[in-house]
Amino acid sequence: QVRLVESGGGLVQAGGSLRLSCAASIRVFSITAMAWYRQVPGKQREQVAAITGGGITNYADSVKGRFTISRDNAKNTVYLQMNGLKPEDTAVYFCNTRPYRDWWGQGTQVTVSS
């Protein structure tokens, strides 16, 4: 069974930083592309950043230059370093495969105050 556990969210002032972690119990994790997604109430879930098993990354325009996705295949963990946070980054952040499947975890709340 697939299990995804996100952590590291919290309340931070605009301009601050957070580092999110995703512990992923996924078979052949090392060759599975992963991504971070976020969701605001009333809006569609959107992809924020993605990383292939080989470490190739891509980012949504809204976070490019501020967020960095990385992975540690030995630990089956994906990270999202978020710098220069803005109030519009406030959302629940989820990790999942790319493309995603319907095995979402609980997510972790990120709240950025102004």
Tens of pLDDT along 10-38? Answer: 999 999 999 999 999 999 999 999 999 99
Q: What is the pLDDT of residue 48?
A: 98
pLDDT digits (tens, 9 = 90+) for 50-83: 999 999 999 999 999 999 999 999 999 999 999 9
Q: What is the pLDDT of residue 1?
A: 84
The beta-strand segments (E) located in the chain are 3-7, 10-13, 18-25, 34-39, 46-51, 57-59, 67-72, 77-82, 91-97, 108-113
